[in-house]
Amino acid sequence: MNNILSKYIRTTFITRFTTMNVFNTHYRSISNCNILYKERSTIPLYIEAIEFERKKIEAIEGQNILDICQANDIIEIEGACDGTLACSTCHIYLEPNIFTSPCEDEEDLLDMAPKVIEGRSRLGCQVRVTKQMKNTTITIPTEFSNQMY
Ligand code: FES
């Protein structure tokens, strides 16, 4: 009974914080805590960047790409606004087969980012890892701009 109750509380907690942008900063600090993801499966992903070309990492389902990159010391992705959808320094390219459309606010930021590729560009802080992403490659663009200044 305790397990069911704690699972319900954890699921409700994660859902609430992932759907409310106003709590995004708070959620991000919590999302680094792997306790929330303990029961979720790991998904192998590849990150492609100038500094190391291609690197295999194990991501936890539900984590966002910015958190994963920061947890794996990938310094080419900055995340200046800490995932609050205000900077576009977390610009990434997804493979076309796993691309999902961004929300309007994200699209507005992407409009100001350099080297945007239609059908591939997203902001890493807004993309959460799913099972469909298994063995796909996330590419970090060679240029980015910061819309906060
Ligand atoms: Fe600023 Fe993603 S970290 S928009």
Which DSSP string do the residues of 114-136 spell out, in sequence order? TT--TTTEEEGGG-B--GGGTT-
Token pair, residue 144, equals 């980015």
Q: Which pLDDT score is estimated for 68?
A: 95
Residue the block writes with tokens 């759907």 = 19
Q: Which pLDDT score is estimated for 50?
A: 82
pLDDT in tens, 48-100: 988 778 999 999 999 999 999 999 998 889 999 999 999 999 999 999 999 99
DSSP category for residue 64: B
**pLDDT band at residue 141 under the 50/70/90 scheme:** very high
Instruction: Give yes or no for a contact between 133 and 119, defined as CB atoms under 8 angstroms apart.
Output: no
User: Residue 90: CB within 6 Å of ligand 1?
Assistant: yes
Kindly state the percentage of the chain with pLDDT values over 90.
Answer: 59
Instruction: Give yes or no for a contact between 112 and 50, defined as CB atoms under 8 angstroms apart.
Output: no
| C-alpha 143 – ligand 1 centre gap (Å) | 15
pLDDT averaged over every residue in the chain: 80
> What is the rounded distance in angstroms from the CA atom of residue 48 to the CA atom of residue 56?
9
Q: Which pLDDT score is estimated for 16?
A: 40
Q: Which pLDDT score is estimated for 95?
A: 97
| Residue minimizing CA distance to atom 4 of ligand 1 | 85
| Stretch 25-31: mean pLDDT | 44
